Structure 1
Amino acid sequence: MVSRTTNMEDPNDKGDQERTWEDLPTELLDLISSSLCLGDCIRFRLTCKSWISVTPPLRSNHLPMQPESGSQLPWLVSFRKVKNGVCNFYHPVSSDSYTMYIPELAGALLRNARYGWLLLSKKKSTCILLFNPFTTEIVNLPDLEDGDGPFQNMFFSSPPTSSDFVVYGLSTYTMVVYHKGENTWDTYSLRNPPKFKIFAAPCNPVFYGSVFYFLCTDGMLALFNPKAIEEESQWEIFPESALYCMSPNLAVSTTRNFIVEYNGEILAIFVGLVGKPISVFKLDHLKMKWDRLETLDDKAVFVSHQSSTLIPAGLKGIENRIYFPRLHGQDNSFYSLSTHNYHSFGSKDSCEEWLNSTEHWDCAWIHPTA
């Protein structure tokens, strides 16, 4: 730890004069802070009270490679200025923010995020690529045909370095699948039989046991196995809806849904128009049916339409909550299954719905990787 004062030579003085850290030039502070990762940037700003206003947190292009506090928590990445190649990273607990300028990604659309990678599309969805913001590595995939899009969902199964790397894209009548090492995409028609009504939900699926799990708008579940040889055996649809099992009124009032997976545990979250009601279900793999959950125990869920994740909370006080890509002021909003209300870390206020918060669009939750 450095001291708060130092002897600095002033050419206008004849001798040494004691000065405080507050006297350091603003340009020097900007230069230092622009080279720091998140944890060091926080400590740097807290060294001197006046530095907090002089060095705003949205300064650095260097994302934290190995975050210290809450390292197991994901960050919310959003492309608020997508045409300019500017993306923002936001921590749901500390409310810290980062801005990155990546000219190579100008015009890209954020599709999915997993394993520290972002799945993006460019040029009317025909150009597909993956980008790791923590290593700045880019992986380009084969171009798609012009008539394959536009896609309402896109998803990848594992890191692009993995041998079982699979990418899928879903439009109204077509699904495309890419397998690692291939030069083209496989195309599947959804017109006969007409499966497109099943996949009206905007949320991306999850991938477990070499199978894609799709959550439908009405709570039905559909499975797609890309390894199946016969097209007829690739799909398996389970007609029992989680929502209609509970109440037809619940199904009508639900406007958004999300599906998440952790170590084989698959959950479905259904959310009403103004953030209520919220219903959580767990998939019974033996009976292939949804069971209602009243608590997440020591886990937390982070949801967005591009990516959702279920993780052990790790840090005390953040468990049994559903974190949304919404802000109440400068703080993240979350729903507590203990209080059945919405809260934010920067306020003691709570409410039953999310009307007083703003939502991030074109965003996804991503785990930092080294």
Structure 2
Amino acid sequence: MAGRRRTKHRKLVDKIKEDQRVSSVPDEQNSAAADLPTELLERILSPLDLRNNIRAAAVCKSWQAVATSVRKSNRHPWLMICPKVGNSYDFYDPGQRETYSLDLPELKDSRICHAKDGWLLLSKARTRRIFFFSPYTLELIKLPKLQSVHEAIVFTAAPTSDNCIVFTVNHVNPMAVAVSTCRPGDDAWTTIIFENQLPFVSGICTKIVFSKGRFYCLSEPGWLGVYNTNNGIWAVLSVPPPKCTEYLPPDYWWKGKYMAEFNGDIFVVYTCGAVNPFVYKLDETKQVWVEMRSLGGMTFFANFLSSHVRVDLKGKMRDNVYFSKVLYYGKRCVTYSVDRDRYYPRKQLYDWGEEDPFQSVWIEPPEDA
């Protein structure tokens, strides 16, 4: 009997010792991780994106301190609001909910066409002059006069970059469009007329984004035209318009539509005052728009003139669509949560098709913001 007890006692002691050895491994690993020099930890953690940085911060206290010190998040755009009278432009920071003002007499009698990389593309209706302007450095770069009446017009990169191309597509007839391109420093625009294999009606509400050497143009009815800058070919894709158009009345299908590019992917947001927004991603392989039930950590900044997509934003900005409307005396933007399928605030329905399309634009903040 005593022998059995001693045997059981030995087994119990051995089990406890083994459990202690197993449980001590994480402690040893954590101890080794904590003993890494700060300089080495900074080199290890600096390249991490926001999500992995947060995970690394959970290893131990020393990792948390270093991860926090090198933590990076992408910068979100600011909303530039044009004045109805005068030259004072407001710049609203949706992250801090603060507004700054700049007096920009250089923009008098000009209309904003597009914004990217901290630059504005503007036009003067009387002279048909088109020019770039940086509201932060006050630098101005002129372009040749565009003879044809331009409607939707965009550019690919800052005009100080070798990759900058200015692009516009204009309606000739239901089966033909005129594509015009220009680079800073050119003496004139290059215009080519293309015949469409499928109907494509372009206009002021056509949405245009640039991705991987191609301009994607979403027409008012929802058909997609593509201009390839590498070979100079224009084509209308056989991608049916997003299904949400079946919910929109015939006189509404051109309103409240936004388009953006991110990492080679094309996204659109369709809105209607009677229903919540629809978010779609282009599957070019299957030639179809796929509805997104979640933004997967992305943030969509929607605007008539220029929409943007960002990832790795701090706080509660992720997984939302930010619309270019500021409420409560400039304290808050109207947002829509895709995951929760609701507006914030949700006291009313928002008819984005009724907004002044040229009243505001999303633009990147200055480096020393």
RMSD: 2.9
- Structure 1 gaps, min length 5: 1-68, 345-349
Match of 1:210 in 2: 213
Match of 1:57 in 2: none
Verify the 8 A CA contact 1:177 1:186 in the aligned structure 2.
yes
Q: 1:248 to 1:287 in 2, by over 3 A?
A: same
Q: Which amino acid aligns with 1:367?
A: E
% identical equivalent positions? 24
User: C-alpha separation between the residues in 1 aligned to 2:139 and 2:104?
Assistant: 12
> How many Å separate the matches in 1 of 2:349 and 2:127?
35
CA separation in 2, counterparts of 1:162 and 1:353? 41
Question: Any conservation in 1 of the 2:121–2:130 contact (CA below 8 Å)?
Answer: yes
1:123 shift after superposition: 4.2
CA distance in 2, matches of 1:276, 1:225: 35
Match in the other structure for 1:23: none
Matched letter for residue 185 of structure 2: G
Asked whether the 8 Å contact 2:114–2:155 carries over to 1, the reply is yes
Q: Partners in 1 of 2:111 and 2:91 — Cα distance?
A: 16
Are the equivalent residues in 2 in contact too, given 1:154–1:204 (CA < 8 A)? no
Q: Which residue of 2 aligns with 1:353?
A: 349
Q: CA deviation at 1:323?
A: 0.6
Aligned: 1:184 with 2:181:
no
Alignment correspondent of 1:266: 266
Distance 1:95 1:179 in 2: 36
Match of 1:236 in 2: 235
1-side partners of 2:362 and 2:179: how far apart? 24
When residues 286 and 132 of structure 1 are mapped into structure 2, their CA distance, relative to the original with a 3 A threshold, is: same
Provide the residue aligned with 1:366 in structure 2: 363
1:304 alignment counterpart: 303
CA contact (8 A) 2:196 2:235 kept: no
For the pair 1:75 / 2:71, whether they are aligned, the reply is no
SS state at 1:305 partner: coil
* Corresponding position of 1:166: 165
CA deviation after TM superposition for structure 1 residue 143, in Å: 1.9
Which 10-residue stretch deviates more, 158-167 or 119-128? 119-128
Give the helix-richer structure, 1 or 2. Answer: 2
Match of 2:87 in 1: 85
Contact 1:302-1:324 at 8 Å conserved across structures? yes
Q: CA deviation at 1:334?
A: 0.7
Kindly provide the amino acid, as one letter, of the partner of residue 185 in structure 1: W
* Contact 1:154–1:168 under 8 Å retained in 2: yes
Distance 2:82 2:340 in 1: 32
**2:124 and 2:249 mapped to 1: Cα distance?**
35
1:299-325 superposed Cα distances (whole Å, 9 cap, x missing partner): 110011110001014112111111111
Alignment match, 1:27? none
Could you tell me which residue of structure 2 aligns to residue 126 of structure 1?
Answer: 128
Instruction: Give the CA deviation at 1:193.
Output: 4.8
Unaligned runs of 5+ in 2: 1-71, 173-177
Task: Please report how far the alpha carbon of residue 360 of structure 1 lies from its aligned counterpart in structure 2 after TM superposition.
Answer: 5.8
Letter in 1 for 2:221: D
Q: Which amino acid aligns with 1:262?
A: F
Partner Cα distance (1:87, 1:198) in 2:
34
Q: Deviations over 1:140-174 (max 9, x none)?
A: 112222xx11x221100111122121102344434
Instruction: State the match for 1:4 in structure 2.
Output: none
Residue equivalent to 2:16: none
Compute the TM-score of the two structures, normalised by the length of structure 1.
0.69
Shift of 1:197: 4.3
- TM-score, with normalisation over the residues of structure 2? 0.70
Report SS of the residue matched to 1:104: helix
Structure 2 CA distance for aligned equivalents of residues 196 and 178 of structure 1: 25
Match of 1:54 in 2: none
Partner of 1:249: 247
Q: 1:285 offset after TM fit, Å?
A: 3.2
Asked if the contact 2:223–2:237 (Cα under 8 Å) also holds between the matched residues in 1, the reply is yes
- Structure 2 partner of 1:140: 142
Q: Secondary structure at the match of 1:198?
A: coil
